[in-house]
Amino acid sequence: MLAAMSTRGIRGAITVARPKPESPQGAEENAILEATIALLRALQEANGFALEDIASVIFTTTDDLDAVYPARAARELGWLKVPLLGAREINMPGGLPRCIRVLIHWNTQRSQQEIHHVYLRDATRLRPDRAR
């Protein structure tokens, strides 16, 4: 008998490097896409999920990242049938700047204890206990 399937949340976050002032046009967009791809690959590597098992993904960005939606990076990785949603975070004093967060809803038989959340770059400050 198969174990019951549950939807588990996989969390992750990454900060985006600020392009140099002399960078070519589109550098900010490329930086956001590169960071998002790095985060999604790290989450997939840490958890081994198949795309057909992803129920949905929510991306949030801080208000200083507005050159491109992070969901575009997921599409470029081939996440074509996965429902994606993007949102802006509330600008809070003392908040972490230039940050992308993701919440992946994964249909799996794994327990919550078997889920690996990933925090990269300066986003490790958000969850030092989860830093890789």
Residue 106: burial class (beta carbons within 10 Å; 0-12, 13-18, 19+): buried
- Round the average pLDDT of the chain to a whole number and report it: 92
Model confidence pLDDT, tens digit, residues 36-84? 999 999 999 999 999 999 999 999 999 999 989 999 999 999 999 999 9
Select the CATH number that applies to the domain covering 6-130 from these four: 3.40.225.10, 3.40.605.10, 3.30.70.260, 3.30.1330.40. 3.30.1330.40
Cα–Cα dist 127/104, whole Å = 17
User: How far is CA 80 from each of CA 30, 57, 67, rounded to the nearest angstrom?
Assistant: 20, 12, 21
Model confidence pLDDT, tens digit, residues 112-126? 999 999 999 999 988
Say what the pTM is.
Answer: 0.91
- The counts of H helices and E strands in the chain are 2, 5
Per-domain residue ranges for the chain? 6-130
pLDDT greater at residue 92 or residue 68: 68
Provide the β-strand partners of residue 119.
13, 131
